[in-house]
Amino acid sequence: MLIRNARIVTRDEVFTGVVRVEDGTIREVERGTTSAREAEDWNGDYLLPGLIELHTDNLEKHLAPRPGVQWNTDAAFVIHDAQVAAAGITTVFDALSIGTRLNAGLRGRDLQTQCAQALTRFSERQLLRAEHFLHLRCEIATADVVEIFDSLRDHPLLRLASVMDHTPGQRQWHDREQWRRFQERNGKLTDEHVTTALAELADEQQRYAEVHRREIVARCKALGLPVASHDDTLVEHVQQAAAEGIVLAEFPTTRIAAEAAREHRISTIMGAPNIVRGGSHSGNVSALELAKAGLLDILSSDYVPSSLLTAVFELVAKADWTLPRAMATVSAEPARTAGLHDRGSITPGLRADFVRVTMLDALPVPRSTYRAGTRIV
């Protein structure tokens, strides 16, 4: 494959040039043009590295498209995969929440196991457009999280785990009223129901959170599996993460937590929807504020796959970042953090994962996505 007249975004610069791909690998990246008849003219469109997504809950939206509706797991995977590929994502870590907590919206182990099995089946038969890995989101304040982790620890696509505590009064939901409003997004709850749920969740948190966090972190260390913390709020949260050898701070809720992560050399990942919307849906720290302060390393699309690319250009427009720096948050940096050394930039010798993007005013529009040199969308 030979491409000319593309606006190529490398790790350090943007220029119009030529890219040559052979056997799924980038072989040549040069300024200028070529007269070769077989060259495909991109007419000045951007050639960007394929996006790398470390944490997305997008699959869950297709598993439960309406309150009380559980969709077919295999069918949910198919449309989830198509959506991420169409958004320019070539590598995706499917975030699977484990731990049964039905009174807080977390699903039981049967569905969690089905999802892991579906990922294996689709990947073995090469039926997925993007390359998928498994990210186990471990809800430590649940009775069965360690048991479920142990049942999935040998999954061939497991590449990342995170420890999280969504108990009202903790971290993301330090404001219990904010938690209640979120739970009521599909209908009002009675005061009695809320009081009962809060008491049950607090009891589970006291019984399980601390010991299960230790056990999950220890298991990941034995497996050589990188671990992320989730929703760090206090400096003490980050200090605990650093002592545990955690490498990634997912969605810190305060600036002081993000500053502490930088001090401890823990990479910070924030939600792209936070950038696009101009703030957090939970009322936590603005990702744009962290970007302007130099405290943002990686972006995640979280619950909107298309937000990843949009947020890159928002960083350029609103945080005064260069495009190569902004692109690194969705390519080179997540690749480095996840140990994916064969991808993440438009560089000779790396895998030919890239996306063609045109601009509609200020909006980046993905036109085609390529994984290992093969067009997948």
pLDDT digits (tens, 9 = 90+) for 159-202: 999 999 866 656 565 666 665 565 555 556 666 666 766 677 77
- Span of 100-104, 119-123, 293-297 with lowest mean pLDDT: 100-104
Q: What is the pTM of this model?
A: 0.90
pLDDT value at residue 271: 95
Q: What percentage of the chain reaches a pLDDT higher than 90?
A: 75
Provide mean pLDDT across the span 63-86: 91
Let me know if domain 50-343 sits in CATH 3.40.1410.10. no
Q: Count Cβ atoms below 10 Å from residue 29 Cβ, excluding itself.
A: 20
pLDDT value at residue 69: 83
223/242 Cα distance (integer angstroms):
18
Residue 239 has pLDDT above 80, yes or no: yes
Query: HSE (CB half, 13 Å, CA atoms) of 306?
Result: 10
- Span of 172-176, 272-276, 293-297 with lowest mean pLDDT: 172-176
Which residue ranges make up each domain of the chain? 50-343
Per DSSP, the three-state class of 320 is coil
Backbone angles phi, psi at 247, to 5 degrees: -110, -10
Residue 118 has pLDDT above 50, yes or no: yes
Residue 108 has pLDDT above 70, yes or no: no
pLDDT value at residue 284: 83
Q: Give CB contacts under 8 A, 24+ apart, made by 153-158.
A: 153/219, 153/223, 155/116, 155/119, 155/120, 156/120, 157/119, 157/120, 157/123, 157/132, 157/133, 158/133, 158/134, 158/225
CB 138 within 8 A of CB 178: no
Provide mean pLDDT across the span 106-120: 81
